[in-house]
Structure 1
Amino acid sequence: MLRALLLENLHPLATSILAAQGIEVITRTGSLDESELIDALQGVHLLGIRSKTHVTEKVVANAPDLLAIGAYCIGTNQIDLAAAGHRGVAAFNAPFSNTRSVVEIALADIIALTRRQPVLNRSMHEGVWNKTSEGAHEVRGRTLGIIGYGNIGTQLSVLAENLGMSVVFYDTAEKLALGNARRMETIDELLETADIVTLHVDGRDGNAGLFGAKQFARMRPGAVFLNLSRGFVVDDAVLAEAISSGHLAGAAVDVFPVEPKRRGDTFVSPLQNMANVILTPHTGGSTEEAQEAIGVFVSNKLRDYLATGTTTLSVNVPNLALEQTPSSHRLAHLHSNTPGVLAAVNAVLANHGVNIEGQILATRGDLGYVVTDVGSDIAPDAVDALANMSQTVRLRLLS
């Protein structure tokens, strides 16, 4: 029986979709460290995680039964994608499912900070009636600077313009500006222009330490700052200094360099108890709607990969969109991308009297993926011959 391990409080639909395919599903509420994960993955074929569980090369090397990993979130930097791919473990994520939720919390934070709602809220809870317009502004007419113009950044750009904001953005890749948004040539140019700066970058290593003292000093006096992307991108201690000095008017932070493993654990940050600072526990994409959509999307990807071999939107192996052919048997062959592999696979099949009904090949970097449908049973010695090819990374007989 196939077995799946789902960690970090995934939506119930993530479990039910896999269980409906006859997969035994084991769920745990928190994340696991490296040694715990290695132990838990023995005899497990599918792993589902969010952002706190790290799948290292050592984990993959010690999980011989693992076929696929589902990241039930946008980011995949918590997975060693190359190590997984080279051991025949496909990885999938949910690049679009929580976009709207993150955009909405960004807008909420922008309005709350610009109107100094955290300060007024605290005063009211302390019994102080502090009715004042000092430091409070409309967002209409202000300039929003978006660093990272991907799925979240672009949707935020459109909605911010609908609120009457001007939008400038910076991205390392060439991106089409939506609406009246303007591309900035450098981050410094954006920082000197924007009243509000919001980060929506991915988790690649090159983004570590992206924001420090130099960048905060470049920001306009009285500007506000948001980080809803990755904790290691920003030096929170320097951000706290920029706020306490009065250079920045406030900040909203949803991600942190070190985050607790489980709900209810102790959390410590230099940004705690500061005026006009909103801290949230990595909940930018944590709405019921988003988590349901993510649970359905990623579990369907894992299910389809097991059933048909389809790898559409996989983040580490060649992408093939496949449908099951009921009358055929299917071989899914992940291999090193070297010349002559396809000819070698077909030669093995021909030598064993196997007639090919359909075949499709895709490559991605140093990996190749060929899926072959045949109309007759495949003899065990033919399967062994394919599995023992020097280029073979993983061979699966799907039907």
Structure 2
Amino acid sequence: MSKLSLPKDRIKVLLLENVHANAVSFLRRQGYTTIDARGAALSGDDLKAAIADVHMLGIRSRTQVTAEVLAAADKLMAIGCFSIGTDQVDLDAARHRGIPVFNAPYSNTRSVAELVLAEIICLLRGLMEKSWAAHEGAWMKTADGSHEARGKTLGIVGYGHIGSQLSVLAEALGMRVIYHDIVEKLAIGNASPAGDLDTVLREADVVSLHVPSTAETRDMIGARELGLMKPGSHLINAARGEVVDIEALAQALRDGHLAGAAVDVFPKEPGGANEEFRSPLRGLRSVILSPHVGGSTLEAQANIGTEVAEKLVKYSDNGSTAGAVNFVEVTLPQQADCSRFLHIHRNEPGVLSAINGIFTDRGMNIAGEYLRTDGEIGYVVVDVAAEIEAGMGIRKALAAVPGTIRTRFLI
């Protein structure tokens, strides 16, 4: 390999927050050996110091990668969020520094669906109240308010990977499934699309939310929507904390309009185990409260470890950005007897022409060229059918192109 490229065994990888061992083993199998795996999250000056000479960073949900932190990491070329969400990273700041961010949006799908299925049964049987009473010495042996899941209607709001898998599991219990999604989705099994959100709320015995956090979904379930739900029905939120107006939900439960709820995500969550969890839902015996553990299974964490590590390696090895959440997605073929150059730049006129000129001026034939832009940032990958030697001045010439943010050689 030419000395123009940084060898894999010199690419520094920092993994924080007990990222699953699958990630470490996969990276090592691919030839990455300078791996620093630490158990704790880092912040402030400690984080800045730790990533000053790091090329790839892996985190979970507690490490906050701000614009200020990114400014201290000149060598950083990619970030892997070993989680579903990416709120812990300033995605825009990373993009403008030419740093793609990868995550694992589907690796915990089964884990979340199974938790929701368990909550459906617990809510329909009133197990929370009966368990609480038993712990206090009472004996609530009664069938009042206790129902089978079979024959009941489950309303799923958001029919993506988790919602559709929950649909299959619920049907296996004999439930009737209806769903609503802002994008038209093909029904799986015997599930039926509802005309709109209000229809789901009015018809379902249990409503389960599986939508992303967007401006449109913020407080999408408020007092009005809760009022539309059937008296005695149940609400489950394993999506995002901002989706439900918690105060309104607590009131609907106190008033007896809803029989119960299960909530795994909250608008404000503790920063760690030593911080008290506060919520107006505390103390309500018909509510299942869980500390954002929908995807927290050993199986899900193992899958996430492998998936994100694979994406980091693919980007490092051949420049593919498939799966990046803040960057144009380019799926690239393997290099075949050519030298590959990656160029990230501001999307300005003349950049591509200038890049091509650097190679044509040196009599080099371009074997392949891939370009994607998002309006602000451009990403071009050039395969050149020629031997590249130090002293040709290509690196310096590419870096001097107006608008250049970052260049990499894969030679």
Q: So what's the TM-score if we normalise by structure 2? A: 0.89
Confirm or deny: 8 A CA contact 2:21 2:305 kept in the other structure.
Answer: yes
* Pairing of 1:1-399 with structure 2 (within 5 A): 1-20=10-29, 21-33=31-43, 37-263=47-273, 265-325=275-335, 327-374=337-384, 375-378=386-389, 379=391, 381-399=393-411
Query: Residue 58 of structure 1: CA displacement?
Result: 3.5
Question: Counterpart of 1:5 in structure 2: which amino acid?
Answer: L
Q: Distance in 1 between matches of 2:47 and 2:202?
A: 45
Instruction: Measure, in 2, the Cα distance between the counterparts of 1:131 and 1:50.
Output: 43
Per mean C-alpha deviation after superposition, the further-off stretch among 19-28 and 153-162 is 19-28
Alpha-carbon distance in structure 2 between the residues aligned to 1:161 and 1:35: 51
| 1:95-146 deviation line (CA, Å, top 9, x unaligned) | 2211111111110111111111111222222232221111011111111111
Gaps of 5+ in 2: 1-9
Amino acid at match of 1:162: A
Q: What amino acid does structure 1 have at the position aligned with 2:262?
A: A
In the alignment, structure 1 segments of 5+ residues that lack a partner are none
- SS of residue paired to 1:206: coil
Query: How many positions carry a matched residue from both structures?
Result: 399
Aligned 8 A contact 2:351 2:401 in 1: no
Q: What do the CA deviations read for 1:309-349 (whole angstroms, capped 9, x no partner)?
A: 11122222222223443643221112334454333211111
Residues 66 and 207 (structure 1), Cα distance of their counterparts in 2 relative to 1, 3 Å cut: farther
Amino acid at match of 2:217: N
Cα separation, partners in 2 of 1:308 and 1:263, compared to 1, 3 Å: farther
Counterpart AA for 1:267: F
Task: Indicate conservation of the 8 Å contact 1:75/1:203, yes or no.
Answer: no
Q: Which range is displaced more, 53-62 or 307-316?
A: 53-62
Look up the equivalent residue of 2:185 and give its one-letter code.
Answer: K
Output the amino acid matched with 1:2: I
Partners of 2:198 and 2:63 lie apart in 1 by 34
The 8 Å contact of residues 48 and 72 in structure 2, kept in 1 or not, is answered as: yes
Q: Tell me how large the CA RMSD over aligned residues is.
A: 2.2
**Structure-2 change in CA distance of 1:242 and 1:139 (3 Å):** same
Q: Which moved more, 1:39-48 or 1:83-92?
A: 39-48
Paired residues of 1:145 and 1:167 also in contact (CA < 8 A): yes
Kindly tell me: are residues 272 and 128 of structure 1, through their superposed partners in 2, closer, same or farther at Cα, counting changes over 3 Å?
A: same
Aligned-residue identity in percent: 48
Separation (CA, whole Å) in 1 of partners of 2:94 and 2:285: 44
Q: Cα deviation per residue 1:277-331 (whole Å; 9 max; x = unaligned)?
A: 1111111011111110110010111122112111122222222223443643221
Is the 8 Å Cα contact of residues 63 and 88 (structure 2) preserved in structure 1? yes
> Is the Cα–Cα contact under 8 Å of residues 5 and 47 in structure 1 kept in the other structure?
yes
Q: Answer whether contact 1:77 1:203 (CA < 8 A) is retained.
A: no
